[in-house]
A and B are shown apart, each in its own frame.
Chain A
Protein backbone atom coordinates (compact mmCIF):
# COMPACT_ATOMS: atom_id res chain seq x y z
CA UNK A 1 0.00 0.00 0.00
CA UNK A 2 1.08 3.57 -0.49
CA UNK A 3 1.51 5.95 2.44
CA UNK A 4 3.04 9.28 3.34
CA UNK A 5 4.73 10.38 6.56
CA UNK A 6 5.35 14.04 7.25
CA UNK A 7 8.00 14.00 9.92
CA UNK A 8 7.09 17.29 11.62
CA UNK A 9 3.60 18.41 12.55
CA UNK A 10 4.81 21.97 13.22
CA UNK A 11 7.84 23.91 11.95
CA UNK A 12 8.76 27.41 13.09
CA UNK A 13 11.30 29.60 11.26
CA UNK A 14 12.28 33.24 11.26
CA UNK A 15 11.58 35.39 8.23
CA UNK A 16 14.50 35.25 5.81
CA UNK A 17 15.82 31.87 7.03
CA UNK A 18 15.60 28.57 5.11
CA UNK A 19 12.56 26.30 5.23
CA UNK A 20 12.74 22.49 5.32
CA UNK A 21 9.56 20.39 5.47
CA UNK A 22 10.25 16.67 5.52
CA UNK A 23 8.27 13.95 3.77
CA UNK A 24 8.86 10.20 3.42
CA UNK A 25 6.68 7.98 1.28
CA UNK A 26 6.00 4.33 0.76
CA UNK A 27 4.97 2.96 -2.61
CA UNK A 28 5.52 -0.32 -4.38
CA UNK A 29 5.45 1.13 -7.88
CA UNK A 30 6.56 4.36 -9.54
CA UNK A 31 4.84 7.13 -7.66
CA UNK A 32 3.98 10.69 -8.50
CA UNK A 33 4.57 13.04 -5.60
CA UNK A 34 3.05 16.42 -4.87
CA UNK A 35 3.22 19.21 -2.34
CA UNK A 36 0.07 21.22 -1.70
CA UNK A 37 -0.32 24.34 0.44
CA UNK A 38 -3.41 25.41 2.37
CA UNK A 39 -3.66 28.91 3.78
CA UNK A 40 -6.06 29.42 6.71
CA UNK A 41 -9.70 28.82 5.76
CA UNK A 42 -8.78 28.30 2.11
CA UNK A 43 -8.73 25.41 -0.32
CA UNK A 44 -5.58 23.58 -1.39
CA UNK A 45 -3.18 24.87 -4.02
CA UNK A 46 -0.54 22.85 -5.86
CA UNK A 47 3.03 23.97 -5.08
CA UNK A 48 4.91 21.44 -7.20
CA UNK A 49 4.87 17.87 -8.48
CA UNK A 50 7.29 15.09 -9.38
CA UNK A 51 6.27 12.79 -12.23
CA UNK A 52 9.41 10.72 -13.00
CA UNK A 53 11.25 13.41 -14.94
CA UNK A 54 13.92 15.59 -13.24
CA UNK A 55 14.42 14.64 -9.59
CA UNK A 56 14.78 18.28 -8.51
CA UNK A 57 11.44 19.96 -8.96
CA UNK A 58 10.87 23.70 -8.83
CA UNK A 59 7.48 25.06 -7.84
CA UNK A 60 5.74 28.34 -7.23
CA UNK A 61 6.83 31.02 -4.75
CA UNK A 62 10.46 29.85 -4.65
CA UNK A 63 9.78 26.36 -3.29
CA UNK A 64 11.53 23.26 -4.57
CA UNK A 65 11.69 19.58 -3.67
CA UNK A 66 14.06 16.74 -4.45
CA UNK A 67 12.91 13.19 -5.13
CA UNK A 68 15.34 10.71 -3.57
CA UNK A 69 14.32 7.16 -4.39
CA UNK A 70 17.02 5.54 -2.26
CA UNK A 71 15.78 7.43 0.79
CA UNK A 72 12.08 7.36 -0.23
CA UNK A 73 11.98 11.06 0.54
CA UNK A 74 10.52 14.18 -1.08
CA UNK A 75 11.48 17.06 1.20
CA UNK A 76 10.26 20.59 0.49
CA UNK A 77 12.69 23.51 0.77
CA UNK A 78 12.83 27.24 0.30
CA UNK A 79 15.99 29.35 0.74
CA UNK A 80 14.34 32.29 2.47
CA UNK A 81 11.01 32.25 4.30
CA UNK A 82 8.46 35.01 3.85
CA UNK A 83 5.63 35.87 6.20
CA UNK A 84 3.16 34.89 3.49
CA UNK A 85 4.53 31.31 3.56
CA UNK A 86 2.79 30.66 6.89
CA UNK A 87 0.30 27.90 6.07
CA UNK A 88 -0.24 24.16 6.27
CA UNK A 89 1.65 21.99 3.79
CA UNK A 90 0.66 18.54 2.60
CA UNK A 91 2.85 15.92 0.95
CA UNK A 92 0.85 13.65 -1.34
CA UNK A 93 1.62 10.39 -3.18
CA UNK A 94 -0.22 8.88 -6.12
CA UNK A 95 0.54 5.65 -7.89
CA UNK A 96 -1.07 4.04 -10.96
CA UNK A 97 -0.68 0.70 -9.21
CA UNK A 98 -3.21 1.90 -6.65
CA UNK A 99 -5.87 3.29 -8.96
CA UNK A 100 -4.35 6.78 -9.24
CA UNK A 101 -5.81 7.75 -5.88
CA UNK A 102 -4.06 10.47 -3.91
CA UNK A 103 -2.88 9.67 -0.38
CA UNK A 104 -2.20 12.67 1.84
CA UNK A 105 0.23 13.10 4.69
CA UNK A 106 -1.08 14.51 7.97
CA UNK A 107 0.26 17.97 7.18
CA UNK A 108 2.95 20.31 8.52
CA UNK A 109 2.00 23.71 9.87
CA UNK A 110 4.66 26.28 9.03
CA UNK A 111 4.95 29.31 11.29
CA UNK A 112 7.08 32.26 10.17
CA UNK A 113 8.29 34.66 12.86
CA UNK A 114 9.12 38.28 12.13
Chain B
Protein backbone atom coordinates (compact mmCIF):
# COMPACT_ATOMS: atom_id res chain seq x y z
CA UNK B 1 0.00 0.00 0.00
CA UNK B 2 1.17 3.53 -0.79
CA UNK B 3 -0.86 4.85 2.17
CA UNK B 4 -1.81 8.52 1.91
CA UNK B 5 -0.22 10.42 -0.97
CA UNK B 6 -0.23 14.16 -1.59
CA UNK B 7 0.80 16.26 -4.57
CA UNK B 8 2.52 18.60 -5.05
CA UNK B 9 5.17 18.62 -2.30
CA UNK B 10 5.90 22.32 -2.76
CA UNK B 11 3.94 25.14 -4.41
CA UNK B 12 4.36 28.89 -4.75
CA UNK B 13 1.33 30.97 -5.74
CA UNK B 14 0.64 34.62 -6.27
CA UNK B 15 -2.19 36.30 -4.39
CA UNK B 16 -5.49 35.66 -6.14
CA UNK B 17 -4.44 32.50 -7.95
CA UNK B 18 -6.36 29.28 -7.47
CA UNK B 19 -5.09 25.74 -7.20
CA UNK B 20 -5.97 22.24 -6.07
CA UNK B 21 -4.00 20.15 -3.61
CA UNK B 22 -4.41 16.48 -4.37
CA UNK B 23 -4.84 13.72 -1.80
CA UNK B 24 -5.37 10.01 -2.35
CA UNK B 25 -5.42 6.93 -0.13
CA UNK B 26 -5.45 3.24 -1.06
CA UNK B 27 -6.58 1.81 2.30
CA UNK B 28 -10.33 2.03 1.61
CA UNK B 29 -10.75 4.45 4.51
CA UNK B 30 -14.06 6.19 4.91
CA UNK B 31 -12.85 9.18 6.91
CA UNK B 32 -10.54 11.73 5.29
CA UNK B 33 -9.51 15.18 6.42
CA UNK B 34 -7.36 18.19 5.61
CA UNK B 35 -5.30 20.11 8.15
CA UNK B 36 -3.04 23.09 8.01
CA UNK B 37 0.02 23.37 10.23
CA UNK B 38 1.34 26.73 11.35
CA UNK B 39 4.18 27.32 13.85
CA UNK B 40 3.04 27.16 17.48
CA UNK B 41 -0.54 26.27 16.55
CA UNK B 42 -0.44 22.54 16.00
CA UNK B 43 -2.67 21.18 13.23
CA UNK B 44 -6.05 22.76 12.59
CA UNK B 45 -8.86 20.98 10.77
CA UNK B 46 -9.97 22.63 7.52
CA UNK B 47 -12.53 20.19 6.08
CA UNK B 48 -13.33 16.54 6.52
CA UNK B 49 -15.36 13.79 4.91
CA UNK B 50 -16.99 10.71 6.44
CA UNK B 51 -17.52 9.03 3.08
CA UNK B 52 -17.96 9.58 -0.65
CA UNK B 53 -20.37 12.43 -1.30
CA UNK B 54 -20.28 13.72 2.31
CA UNK B 55 -18.13 16.64 3.44
CA UNK B 56 -18.23 19.07 6.34
CA UNK B 57 -16.37 22.08 7.66
CA UNK B 58 -13.71 21.97 10.31
CA UNK B 59 -12.21 24.70 12.43
CA UNK B 60 -10.75 26.92 9.66
CA UNK B 61 -12.74 26.34 6.41
CA UNK B 62 -12.82 29.86 4.95
CA UNK B 63 -11.11 30.16 1.57
CA UNK B 64 -11.09 26.40 0.92
CA UNK B 65 -13.43 24.00 -0.86
CA UNK B 66 -13.48 20.21 -0.92
CA UNK B 67 -15.37 17.44 -2.67
CA UNK B 68 -15.38 13.66 -2.27
CA UNK B 69 -16.57 11.92 -5.42
CA UNK B 70 -14.71 8.67 -4.68
CA UNK B 71 -13.55 6.89 -1.52
CA UNK B 72 -9.92 7.24 -2.61
CA UNK B 73 -9.62 10.95 -3.45
CA UNK B 74 -10.17 14.11 -1.41
CA UNK B 75 -8.85 17.25 -3.18
CA UNK B 76 -8.58 20.62 -1.46
CA UNK B 77 -9.20 23.73 -3.56
CA UNK B 78 -7.94 27.20 -2.80
CA UNK B 79 -10.32 29.54 -4.57
CA UNK B 80 -8.33 32.80 -4.44
CA UNK B 81 -5.04 32.39 -2.60
CA UNK B 82 -4.08 34.86 0.13
CA UNK B 83 -0.77 35.25 2.02
CA UNK B 84 -2.58 34.06 5.18
CA UNK B 85 -2.90 30.66 3.50
CA UNK B 86 0.87 30.18 3.48
CA UNK B 87 1.21 26.97 5.49
CA UNK B 88 1.97 23.28 5.39
CA UNK B 89 -1.07 21.21 4.46
CA UNK B 90 -1.61 17.63 5.56
CA UNK B 91 -4.17 15.17 4.32
CA UNK B 92 -5.12 12.26 6.57
CA UNK B 93 -7.36 9.22 6.52
CA UNK B 94 -8.67 6.63 8.95
CA UNK B 95 -11.02 3.69 8.77
CA UNK B 96 -13.94 5.23 10.64
CA UNK B 97 -14.45 5.87 14.33
CA UNK B 98 -12.33 8.22 16.44
CA UNK B 99 -10.34 5.40 18.06
CA UNK B 100 -8.89 4.29 14.74
CA UNK B 101 -5.36 5.29 13.86
CA UNK B 102 -5.22 8.29 11.55
CA UNK B 103 -2.62 8.10 8.79
CA UNK B 104 -1.05 11.28 7.45
CA UNK B 105 0.35 12.16 4.06
CA UNK B 106 3.81 13.73 3.69
CA UNK B 107 2.44 17.27 3.41
CA UNK B 108 2.38 20.11 0.88
CA UNK B 109 4.33 23.27 1.67
CA UNK B 110 2.44 26.22 0.15
CA UNK B 111 3.74 29.77 -0.11
CA UNK B 112 1.46 32.59 -1.26
CA UNK B 113 3.25 35.77 -2.32
Contact = CB atoms under 8 A, between A and B. Distances in A.
Looking at A36, A49, A102, which has the most chain B CB atoms within 10 Å of its CB?
Answer: A102
Given A32-B98, A49-B99, A101-B58, A43 B43 contact: no
A90 B98 contact: no
Contacts, number: 55
Interface residues of A, number: 25
Given A43-B90, A43-B105, A43-B106, A101 B99 contact: no
B42 A43 contact: no
B34 interface: no
Given A43-B105, A44-B90, A96 B40 contact: no
A99 to B, nearest CB: 8
B101 A49 contact: yes
Contacts of B107: 42-43
B90 A96 contact: no
Contact of B98 (A42, A45, A96, A105): A96
B42 A90 contact: yes
Contacts of A9: 40
B49 to A, nearest CB: 12
A104 B44 contact: yes
